[in-house]
Amino acid sequence: MNLPLTPPSGSARHRTPASKLDAKQVGSIRQIENIAGQLDGEWTMMGGRCGLQEDFGAFRYQMAYAGLALALTHFHRLPNAPGVFKPIFENLIRKMMHPGVWMYWHFVSQGGALTNGHLWGKLKGKWDPVKEDNIMFSAYLTLLPMLYNYLFDDDRYAQPGALKMSINPLTFGDRMVFEYDQHKLSDIIYWQMVQNGYLGVACEPSCVFQICNQPSILSFRIEDFIKGTSRAQEVTEGYVKAWKEFGSVDAGGHFMVHVVTDIKMPIPNALPWLWSDAWLAALMHSWNPEFVHEHYPAMLQKFLIPGPDDTCAVRLWEPFEIRGVTTGADTADFGWAAVAAAELGDDKTLRGLLAHADRFMNPTWRDGGLHYPRNDVRYDENGIVRLVEPITSNTLLPFARLNVPNGLNTFYNQPWTRAHYAEPLLTEISNNVDVVEARFDPSASELRFTLNARQDRSGDAAISISNVFEKGRGSWKLYRDGVETASGDDERVSRAADLKIERHADVMELVAAREAASAYSLVWA
């Protein structure tokens, strides 16, 4: 990777004050781990109302934003514990390639709905979900492997054919296989952006949404970290110019939703929808924070509903008629408001929304994961917001709870240097403990990590720590709960009490009895 050896000039390296994850944050990570770890085709707790993979009930959104939430958590809160996140990412990427996630494209590629009805009957359905348009899927299938490469310094998804989608139906058609890799996907998206004058790539045919191109911008930025390129700068400069023609903000003061490109028609957020504004605000805050802060707070004020005891909620999207039928969809207004509040550092709103969720949305623990069971009732008899969509439970509230103020913005602008990957890292962690702290302090040559026992699992805790036995690193001591329990140097373990430690190449493998919580400190002389 072409990461800089030193932080970019003029930007002090962001360091979140060392702190341990609280129980709800741990439960949020576990909820994502639980849904991602389900077998292929198993989507328990993830099913939305629509079932057509076209609103926020779509699996792809749940998995993509779960991945982004984990990326921010790793970057800001547990930077030295990649082993917590890497297996979950592998599951998320695996599940993203399941046909149940992307086969909607065959139907959506034909156009003909609310957004592009004038195309109905003119287009043939396509199967390959990433070759053209469909940025609402391809952006995420690119982003997750890019994040994986960057966070874990592992380019397995950059190998030719590493991202393979296939169907082999029994009852129709023929076997179809679509093989890609992260950079090929990025190139596909990039050249479509170039050819569209950087306005963006369409979701459904001829419909270029502002929001759906934000994950691609983020993905380009990550690719720039990996390859030393500057696509994100090129694309964002072009994007700003291109959207000037149509306006990024509509006459009502909301973010323009999309442009129907073949008839050059901008579509405002006329109803308006909070989810659209909040989603864009959160993501665009990564690269265009001044613009977001200039416009979004006024948008939010139109929706906020104050509640008792410093709780707050938001006015929900109103169902409307499609072809004479009143239609509800998973819009996740509440969840996106929480994500935006967390990213923009609006602590009062964030605390109010999370408090509302904990008080009125039935927080439930299942297999160590914290979730809020789906509830299709919008408001109760007292006017209290009760609606919970799966994405709000599985992904957005975890995202809001785990992010830090300006978290995406910092992630975008202050990348890790190569030095990060040479630090001691918890690379493998047995599934019977939660890591609630993992941070290396270079100035003190100290890796601090804390393990909490999972109540629903048994056995000893096993941890692998890489970059320990590197020549020249010197002698070390390991403390558990303040008591020295082991010592050694860059070649061997000389003493270990009450736990088992072995050296395998540069990796320290540690096995210890599982206790409720154990705080470790690995210190070099």
Catalog residues that contact other proteins under the rule CB under 8 A. Answer: 184, 187-188, 191, 194-198, 230, 233-234, 237, 241, 245
Least Cβ distance, residue 104 to other proteins (angstroms): 24
* 58 versus 158: smaller Cβ distance to other proteins: 158
> Hey, what are 12's tokens?
């002090």
Least Cβ distance, residue 237 to other proteins (angstroms): 7
* 198 versus 360: smaller Cβ distance to other proteins: 198
Phi/psi at 447 (5° precision): -105, 120
Q: What is the DSSP string of 33-57?
A: HHHHTSPTT--TTT--SS-SS-STT
Report the C-alpha gap between 199 and 364 in whole angstroms: 42
Which among 400, 317, 399, 312 is positioned nearest to 356, based on CA atoms? Answer: 312
Least Cβ distance, residue 145 to other proteins (angstroms): 17
* 6 versus 195: smaller Cβ distance to other proteins: 195
Least Cβ distance, residue 495 to other proteins (angstroms): 54
Report the C-alpha gap between 445 and 424 in whole angstroms: 10
Question: At residue 270, what is the residue type?
Answer: A
Least Cβ distance, residue 197 to other proteins (angstroms): 4
* 195 versus 443: smaller Cβ distance to other proteins: 195
- Paired with 447 in beta bridges are 440, 522
User: 184, exposed or middle or buried, with CB in 10 Å at 0-12, 13-18, 19+?
Assistant: middle
Contacts of 76 (CB under 8 A, 6+ apart): 14, 16, 403, 404, 407, 410, 411
Least Cβ distance, residue 95 to other proteins (angstroms): 25
User: 156, exposed or middle or buried, with CB in 10 Å at 0-12, 13-18, 19+?
Assistant: middle
* 184 versus 457: smaller Cβ distance to other proteins: 184
CB 414 within 8 A of CB 11: yes
Least Cβ distance, residue 165 to other proteins (angstroms): 15
Least Cβ distance, residue 195 to other proteins (angstroms): 4
* 234 versus 250: smaller Cβ distance to other proteins: 234
DSSP state of 513: -
Angular region, 268: left φ>0, alpha ψ -120 to 50, beta rest: beta
DSSP state of 211: G
Least Cβ distance, residue 232 to other proteins (angstroms): 11
DSSP state of 515: -
* 200 versus 352: smaller Cβ distance to other proteins: 200
Least Cβ distance, residue 163 to other proteins (angstroms): 13
Per DSSP bridges, beta strands 364-366 and 369-371 are: antiparallel
Question: At residue 86, what is the residue type?
Answer: K
* 197 versus 383: smaller Cβ distance to other proteins: 197
CA 365 to chain centre: 21
CB 463 within 8 A of CB 428: yes
Which among 445, 444, 416, 448 is positioned nearest to 435, based on CA atoms? Answer: 448
* 230 versus 455: smaller Cβ distance to other proteins: 230
* 71 versus 139: smaller Cβ distance to other proteins: 139
